[in-house]
Amino acid sequence: MSLMPDPTSQRHWHLFCRVIDNFGDIGVCWRLARQLHQQHGQQVTLWVDDLSSFRALCPALDYSLAEQQQQGIVIRHWAEDFPLLSPQQTGDVVIEAFACELPQSYIAAMQQRERTACWINLEYLSAEDWVPGFHLSQSPVHGLSKTFFFPGFVQGTGGLLCEPELALLPHQMAEGAARQAFLSSFGLAPALADCALQISLFAYENPALAGLLDALQAWPQTVHLLVPAGRVSAGLDDWLGETTQAGHTYQRGRLSISLLPFMSQPQYDQLLAMCDLNLVRGEESFVRAQMLGKPMLWHIYRQEEDAHLDKLEAFLGLYCDRNNLSDRMLAEHLVGAFRHWNQAPDSALAAGAEAHEHWHGLLQQLPAWQTHAVAWQQQLQALGDLASNLVHYATDRV
Amino acid sequence: MKTANEFRAGQVLSLNGQAWVVLKAEFNKSGRNAAVVKMKLKNLLTGASQEPVFKADDKLEPIILERSQVTYSYFADPLYVFMDEEYNQIEVEKENLGDTLNFMTDGMTDVCEAVFYEGKAISIELPTTIVRTVSYTEPAVRGDTSGKVMKMATLENGYELQVAAFVEIGDAIEIDTRTGEFKGRAKN
């Protein structure tokens, strides 16, 4: 969907991204940059410290260049020797993503601007109940005021990233021809699109993986498990007893396991949209699966002192809240499954008959889960999307 | 300089050239081992208040003020009255006590620190660890002595906090005043 931006609301945005690990940081920033430009007509410069990681998501990127343009976005390498910019060269809106620190020289240039910039710290996603109380709070630093902007799942937060056209994708990918074409594009047999159950798997290393694979193998219908390249591959190789390769499919009974190469964001969206269940991780894929209205099981990023478990429980508190999910049997299964997938089970649940019972019980709930996923998606959409909420906030201030 | 997460109620910092007393500091982990702190601050000159948020590792300038050791005497609305070692009465406005109020109780013997700004007591800092008595909590759960399972408990002044499941009514417990969290059962 293409919207005509209001030219009077056009601003120059500078978005700063440090790649800490994996692709979540740059994944979110790249989506946000494109949406700000394509949907809202904003001029966007994206500063990235690690262009080689970025290239995995944007293959056209030339990481030898300090500055280039991709899809209408100016990409600049955020090198250690940050260039000296004049105040006029700084952004009208400056976003430091995920609490990264802006270069001192850049802050000094911001301090000298005639018209104060709208400086935003785009924070991590959390469902915890303190988030609305922190959202849009001001931070008086360096003689300027910075706004803390929190994405979130409830009113009083900044919402989640989502392009208007995303909701149409599951309908498009429900077509057999679209599924077959998608599989073929990765060298996979189109007939795999006929498997009764399509599941995507994107996770960190996970001791519960073997139990899941055992259960999928024992499932009475055909299952196609699609696994994009990533940190779960070693566990998969262990279970299969062989070294897997992208573009190949491994058969174990009724279970077909296809390995996929690292894919672009639009391709990953298609994968999520065509699957009946998505196992996702971190923040980026977790949000995409929800905004597509698909059942998803989240492998949360592990934090010190098990802080991630509080965040997991906070999310489950919303996702499975009685007001959002009246089917209490489904809620019970979901809570059990999310905890099981995230808490490195050392019990019998990790494998064997109890694991089968656990996973099969969950899979039997898939039709009800799909209904819940769509209702949840609609609830999130009602919050407005993150990019639009940012534009609305910043436009009023610069 | 101190990081934002090192400040707690009663301490004073400089912001844009002005002195602000911390009435409340709320710390939360935001993601990937990063954290944020929301403070309730009161301007010591104008009385204006604000509630800024900082990254936990943001550097802020503390203001070192005169201090003296005091113990709590009584409450004469809206003033809390303390006594120093020389039996001088020191009055602090209730609204300046912030989170410290949660642990104020009649008969408390904790040696606190009164903080002075231009000769006036502007806040009270409690010791890092204090002992309070539980006036109500649900019965203890048999068999769980790990301390990991928590439940609500009410202190004698009505303040509620999470305590370990084995805590019973009448127990004396240790509380960390920096976080307001239960530390353990008080040692005899």
Distance CA A50, CA A19 (A): 6
Tens digit of each residue's pLDDT (9 = 90 or more) over A274-310: 999 999 999 999 999 999 999 999 999 988 888 899 9
In this complex, do B30 and A124 lie within 8 Å of one another by their Cβ atoms? yes
Give the mean pLDDT of B141-152. 73
pLDDT band at B33 (very low <50, low <70, confident <90, very high): confident
Distance CA A76, CA A356 (A): 50
Give the mean pLDDT of A38-44. 97
In this complex, do A304 and B33 lie within 8 Å of one another by their Cβ atoms? yes
Q: Domain containing B141 — which CATH number? A: 2.40.50.140
Burial class (CB in 10 A: 0-12, 13-18, 19+), B44: buried
Closest Cβ–Cβ partner in A140, A304, A311 for B52: A140
Give the mean pLDDT of A176-194. 97
Inter-chain CB pairs, A–B, below 8 Å: 59
Closest Cβ–Cβ partner in A130, A143, A304 for B16: A143
In 3-state terms, what secondary structure has residue A347?
Answer: coil
Tens digit of each residue's pLDDT (9 = 90 or more) over A116-168: 999 999 999 999 999 999 999 999 999 999 999 999 999 999 999 999 999 99
Q: What is the pLDDT of residue A2?
A: 45
Of the residues A92, A276, A283, A385, only one is catalytic, namely: A283
What count of other Cβ atoms lies within 10 Å of the Cβ of residue B117?
Answer: 16
H-helix segments, chain A: 24-38, 51-57, 104-111, 131-134, 169-173, 176-184, 209-218, 233-240, 265-274, 284-291, 307-319, 328-342, 353-364, 366-381, 386-395
Contacts of A301 in chain B (CB under 8 A): 31-32
Of the residues A25, A49, A163, A276, only one is catalytic, namely: A25
CB-based contacts of A84, cutoff 8 Å, min separation 6 = A105, A109
In this complex, do B29 and A121 lie within 8 Å of one another by their Cβ atoms? no
Q: Containing H/E element for A145?
A: strand A144-149
Give the mean pLDDT of B51-80. 95
Give the distance from residue B84's alpha carbon to the nearest chain A alpha carbon, in angstroms.
36
Average pLDDT of every residue of chain A: 93
Closest Cβ–Cβ partner in A99, A128, A134 for B34: A99
Q: What is the pLDDT of residue B145?
A: 62
The percentage of chain A sitting over the pLDDT mark of 70, rounded to a whole number, equals 96
Cis peptide before B78 (omega within 30 of 0): yes
- For chain B, how many helices (H) and strands (E)? 0, 17
Distance CA B11, CA B125 (A): 8
Distance CA A241, CA A236 (A): 8
Print the domain residue range for B92.
Answer: 66-125
Domains of chain A with CATH codes: 7-160+384-395 (3.40.50), 164-381 (3.40.50)
Is B70 found in the same domain as B34? Answer: no
Give the distance from residue B33's alpha carbon to the nearest chain A alpha carbon, in angstroms.
6
Q: Domain containing B47 — which CATH number? A: 2.30.30.30
Show which of B62, B91, B112 is a domain's final residue. B62
Give the mean pLDDT of A177-190. 97
Q: What is the pLDDT of residue B32?
A: 80
Torsion-angle region of residue A273: left (phi > 0), alpha (psi -120 to 50) or beta?
Answer: alpha
Residue A25 appears among annotated catalytic residues: yes
Nearest residue in chain A measured CA to CA from B50: A138
Give the mean pLDDT of B167-187. 92
Closest Cβ–Cβ partner in B32, B34, B52 for A139: B52
pLDDT of B188 above 70: no
Is B18 found in the same domain as B35? Answer: yes
Q: Tell me what ipTM this predicted complex has.
A: 0.87
pLDDT band at B178 (very low <50, low <70, confident <90, very high): confident
Tens digit of each residue's pLDDT (9 = 90 or more) over A54-104: 998 899 999 999 999 999 999 999 999 999 999 999 999 999 999 899 999
Residue A283 appears among annotated catalytic residues: yes
